[in-house]
Amino acid sequence: MKLIRKLLKWTGILFLLFILINMGVYTYAKITPPLQIKSANSFMLFDNKNNVFFQGSGSREWISLKEISKNVITATIATEDQHFYLHKGFDFPRIISAGVTNILSRSKSQGASTISQQYAKNLFLDFDKTWKRKWDEMWYTIELEADYSKDEILEGYLNTINYGHGMYGIENASQFYFGKSASELDLAESAMLVGIPKSPSHYSPITNLENAKKRQKYVLKAMRSQKKITEEAYQEAIDEELTYVGEKKSQNLSTIMYYQDAVMKELQTIKEIPSTFLETGGLKIYTNLDLEEQTKLENTIQTVIPKESTIETATIVMNPNNGKVLALVGGRDYNRSPYNRAIDAKRQVGSTMKPYLYYAALENGFTASSTFTSEKTTFTYEKNKTYSPQNNNETYGNKPISMATAIAYSENIYAVKTHTFLGYDTLINMARRVGITSDLQAVPSLALGTSEISMLEMVTGYSCFANLGYKVTPHFIERIEDSEGNILYQAKEERELVLNPNLTFILNNLLTATYDSAYIDYNYPTAISIASKLTHQYALKSGTTNTDTWYIGYNHDVITATWCGYDQNQDVVSSEYKYARDIWLQTIEGYMDGKEDVWYEKPDGVSATFVEPISGRLATEQDEKKKMVYFLKGTEPLETTTVFDELLEKEETQ
């Protein structure tokens, strides 16, 4: 009995202490300045002409609780926080119950966040799971409860929560999904929308109707079990067939959300921005988006790829001189799939890896006329392992060919011979130097692009060639201001010289061989089919694997990379190879339309010499074909040149 009395005594003391601490905390929160919830976490995105193309949660679409259907309000409370009007921000019995359930099930299946807590989370930009973040959320929950009524908190929550597809707030969501105001939503529509925020990409009825219907049923069951609706109303809502609009009234570009997501991802890495919008009262984010170019890009994709096809695509358009990303598409339709393949996916890059290899070769004594024999070859490496690459269509010259010819045909044998001759680490080190961070394997096939690399990394690397040797950082955000116009962040367009300008000039000219008829011989240049459609000069390289097709090309003003393939890695059939080619062609030509065709000026350290293009030897009067090719001064070809196979054989026998 003594023990029980002592236990009760201490329990009472702890309970009283808990009440006193709570009273003190809430009193302190009450006397501090109230949070400005209507401006918190609001953000506006501007394009490069200072026009707004997106407004975040603090937008003009904020509506009062009276303007929201009672079905939405009832469904939200029943699903997210049935004791919302009874607690002071934290539902302690629910927290204890969820904790016990999670311990017993050894999972985190049960959550206990109240609407007030979730609203506090919505007022944050970053999503770091740190203890400081947790304490901040707890404190802002207390402040919300101290400063605002329950109706005001619920109103703020419904106006800021993410309903998927870039739709923040119930009014935006209602217009997007159903083309009507939030006040007009019926029970079935309300239950569908209320189910989305738990996992917007998973429960969107536009991208996954089956999952969305299951979630809608869960919401309706919660309402029925809490006697908020009758059995008859439950069944009618389940049976109602809903029609989805899936369009924004103000902005019809379905791909612009990929750019916005890239902006928000970059925003989370900028240290100058406070971890919460509560301290800033909203942000104005000025981006590098060229809306005209984005529109052209989306229209091109819709024109090139048939509607019935399930193949996916991604494209980045960037200024290589400063890293400004002008347009970006991470998929064919954000409403169908918000996965951003331009910045998040890593794919095999195929022969678009070869320019890195050939720059490294130029740096190590190769020239445009350096020759290897084009023939079937088996390579031996690492403890007698063998590798037998093939040229496309198994086409071989069975004779020595120049580096220029190898680039024109995208010769695999020449590439692997070069890779082996230089040593596998040479290509890896080269890729690292220009900004590629993905895992690269020191194997013969690396030269053929068997490693998986993101598109943003590839654009970073190629931009070093496009701007004659400088490494720049791709960026979407130019500057950020607070609501009063104070500049919080300004992009620093830093350039680091990492490559030799003379060699990049030579490589850029070599990459025009991919569509140059002078190289038609036993094979055809890989992009010869679009030569007549090019109105400007570009350095261009394509890449093809079983599952991926790439086109990356540039001049001094712009770099454009396009990829096509399937998310599940099924093979791309030959009739689909043209998609990446045509998207790239129309995109870069559209950007250059009306602009002057200015190619790179020859540096003083470079000379021009006429050669027989296929063999690379010095041209003579007897040669039918002559091609002007660039060399570092002093490295021009002689009448006879060494075939590098002989040197490679010596290396392998030593």
Which of the residues are catalytic?
A: 80, 351
DSSP 318: E
Q: Is 197 exposed, middle or buried (0-12, 13-18, 19+ CB in 10 A)?
A: buried
How many Cβ atoms from other residues are within 10 Å of residue 70's Cβ?
13
Contact 92, 117 (CB under 8 A): no
Contact 615, 400 (CB under 8 A): yes
How many Cβ atoms from other residues are within 10 Å of residue 377's Cβ?
20
Measured distance CA(272)–CA(412) in Å, rounded:
47
- Each residue of 275-294: b (16+ CB within 10 Å) or e? bbbbebbbbbbbbbbbbebb
- Give residue 413's identity as a one-letter amino acid code: I
Helices 354-363 and 424-433 sit at what angle, rounded to 10 degrees?
A: 100
Measured distance CA(348)–CA(45) in Å, rounded:
33
Structure tokens of 251?
């902005």
Contact 259, 328 (CB under 8 A): yes
Mapping DSSP onto H, E and C, the string for 447-504 reads: HHCCCEEEHHHHHHHHHHHHCCCEECCCECEEEEEECCCCEEEECCCCCEECCCHHHH
- Give residue 365's identity as a one-letter amino acid code: G
Q: Tell me the β-bridge partners of 550.
A: 543, 563
Residue (of 54, 539, 623, 512) closest to 287 by Cα position: 54
Q: Tell me the β-bridge partners of 559.
A: 318, 554
Structure tokens of 185?
């939503």
The residues near 306 (Cβ < 8 Å, ≥ 6 apart) are: none
Q: Tell me the β-bridge partners of 386.
A: 380
What are the backbone angles phi and psi of residue 488, rounded to the nearest 5°? -95, -25
∠ CA 266-296-526, nearest 5°, is 90
Give the C-alpha distances (Å, rounded to integers) separating 482 from 56, 124, 125, 262, 324.
14, 15, 14, 20, 22
| CA gyration radius, the chain | 31
How many Cβ atoms from other residues are within 10 Å of residue 86's Cβ?
9
Residue owning tokens 């807590």: 117
- Each residue of 245-270: b (16+ CB within 10 Å) or e? ebebeeeebbbbbbbbbbbbebbeee
- E strands, 358-433, are 371-373, 379-381, 385-387, 400-402
DSSP 443: S
